[in-house]
Chains A and B, each alone.
Chain A
């Protein structure tokens, strides 16, 4: 928790776009539904997160809300969860996208989705990701290309998740997004053309000072030496959210830490993990 150099304002990277606003009345209904209807959230993609990212499906090919491992799904059906969320149903109908999958994602306080690429396991088709923030806070943000983006509520956002990115909710309360994965079509093109500007959504992260980086590595090494491997790894993985780092650099730092501690197996594990997370394997 050292005080780091302050980030500076910037424009949105091309992989993220703020799109059309959502009617405030509908937004209130969506927020109410998100906070009151879902239960029995599912933790999936455990390797990609620190345990605080939970999802439930709204549209998939089984109709089971707890079936949350996304896959290509040209004709999704509504899950029972969507049946209980008429406001969300209305929004999906209004957007008119050719949905592959739709889900609610809850990121709890202190939760992180580590730097990764998506869609690597799916067939080669043009698809896009649309986010609708329903509940959020100022410590919840996306990192992409050394840029910090706070997806504010009240509008639709587009994210290209094939670039390395990560998401966090550092301090809470819970952040809940509606996430729609959809295939390219005219409705998506129209939505994607509704680009809007949002003040204070973006900040450039500072480049890491060598000394600061060494301090973080020393802290992580100290944790690992005491046997707190998980905390050591988290300490380094979190640097992705503080500094503008090269792709996969946090994974390299963990590998280097274990190498320095003469723990070859752990170093190799993180070398492999980097390839998996970033779609290099």
Chain B
């Protein structure tokens, strides 16, 4: 009886459980990884078919910099990430570095978050989040390595490049789509605002990379002095005047406008990511 029920349960498992298994297998393949935990809805027992996979990857301190350096290549080669990782600005600063990947799996696009943390800081991270272990390596933890502070701080302080901002826009679009589907109106609002800010940042990073003005200040004076700058700001203005709480159609329109801005402000970045963007649209449409 229980075997039959197990079969039915297995057949109805959300598809990202297969991706979870694949991710654990891939990430744990290195002796540099001391442990893997899942956090977020998977750890809280509230996951649904849209839930992202949220990992805490504990890496021995001496290997931390090497791991961060190859994380994009690893996620692309082993899990099929369609874009480089977005350096997560939403996740709390807990002592490591957060990256968000969009991974094509079983005909759908899933969000896989890696919070990469040096082993010496793992306890601090686990104290601040609900997490469940999914992989624990045998052996002793390595000694703290002072270099990790420099790696983490310099990474967090580095300004985003236009290609990173384009990835941020696409990742936020994927997140917002999930909020709309779930009816999470307040989070959809917050993430839509983040998307607007990312578009503004992309305009600034591309057209005024040396800007010393804060946030949304002085945009017309600094950007709007050229035809291309004025067009970008007009697009941005159109984006801001859309619905604050987006519908699916609003999101499609916002992403279309954001990509129009990107093509104006950073055309080579869009061209280099064009096949990935085409795939992204497909997955968004069939989400």
Contact = CB atoms under 8 A, between A and B. Distances in A.
A234 interface: yes
Contacts of A230: 29, 77-78
B73 interface: yes
B74 A4 contact: no
A231 B268 contact: no
Interface residues of A, number: 27
B13 interface: no
Contacts of B74: 223, 228, 231
Interface string A217-251: 00110110111101100110010000000000000
B142 interface: no
B134 interface: no
Interface string A1-12: 101101000000
A235 B268 CA distance: 23
- For B26, B63, B70, the residue with the greatest tally of chain A CB atoms inside 10 Å of its CB is B70
A46 B21 CA distance: 21
B163 interface: yes
B240 interface: no
Interface stretch (B41-49, B80-88, B111-119, B123-131): B80-88
Interface residues of B, number: 38
Nearest to A224: B70
A170 B277 CA distance: 12
Contacts, number: 104
B11 interface: no
A110 B80 contact: yes
Contacts of B274: 138
A235 B104 contact: no
A1 B276 CA distance: 11
Contacts of A1: 72-73, 76, 83-84
B77 A227 contact: no
Contacts of B243: none
B69 interface: yes
Contacts of A226: 30-32, 63, 66-67, 70
A45 interface: no
A97 to B, nearest CB: 32
A215 to B, nearest CB: 11
B80 A222 contact: no
B29 A3 contact: no
A174 B77 CA distance: 17
Contacts of A219: 69-70, 73
A235 B71 CA distance: 12
A234 B274 CA distance: 22
A172 B70 contact: no
Contact of B70 (A6, A110, A223): A223
Interface of A: 1, 3-4, 6, 109-110, 137-139, 170-174, 219-220, 222-223, 225-228, 230-231, 234-235, 238
30 contacts: A1-B84, A3-B268, A3-B272, A6-B268, A109-B107, A137-B275, A137-B278, A137-B282, A138-B274, A138-B279, A139-B275, A170-B275, A171-B276, A172-B80, A172-B104, A172-B283, A173-B282, A173-B283, A174-B107, A219-B73, A223-B73, A223-B77, A226-B30, A226-B67, A226-B70, A230-B78, A231-B26, A231-B70, A235-B76, A238-B77
Given A173-B286, A222-B66, A223-B73, 19 more contacts: A1-B76, A110-B104, A137-B278, A137-B279, A137-B282, A139-B275, A170-B279, A171-B276, A172-B104, A172-B279, A174-B107, A222-B70, A226-B31, A226-B63, A230-B77, A231-B77, A234-B78, A235-B73, A235-B77
